[in-house]
Amino acid sequence: MTPERAILIVEDEPALADLLRLHLGDLGYEVEVARDGQRGLERALQRPFALVLLDLMLPGLDGLEVCRRLRQAQRPVPVLMLTARSDEGDKVIGLDVGADDYVTKPFSVRELMARVRALLRRVEMDAAQPSGQEEALRFGDLVIHPQKRKVTLGGAAVELTAKEFDLLTLFAREPGRVFSREELLDLVWGYQYAGYSHTVNSHINRLRGKIERDPSAPRFIRTVWGVGYRFAEAEELITDQGR
Partners of 103 in the β-ladder: 82
- Confidence tier at 133 by pLDDT (50, 70, 90): low
| CA 128 – CA 125 distance, rounded (Å) | 5
**Among candidate residues 4, 3, 1, 7, the one with its CA nearest the CA of residue 124:** 4
pLDDT, tens only, 169-225: 999 999 999 999 888 887 887 654 555 677 788 889 889 999 999 999 999 999 999
pLDDT for residue 126 = 58
Contacts of 84 (CB under 8 A, 6+ apart): 56, 57, 104, 105
**Most trustworthy range by pLDDT among 96-110, 113-127, 221-235:** 221-235
Contacts of 85 (CB under 8 A, 6+ apart): 56, 57, 91, 104
Please count the other Cβ atoms lying within 10 Å of the Cβ belonging to residue 216: 6
Provide the percentage of residues in the chain whose pLDDT is more than 90.
45
- Give yes or no for residue 13 having a pLDDT over 50: yes
Distances (CA, A) of 111 to 54, 118, 123, 199, 218: 16, 11, 19, 17, 35
Angle of CA points 127, 144, 197, to nearest 5°: 80
- Contact assessment for residue 45 and residue 75, using Cβ atoms and an 8 Å cutoff: yes
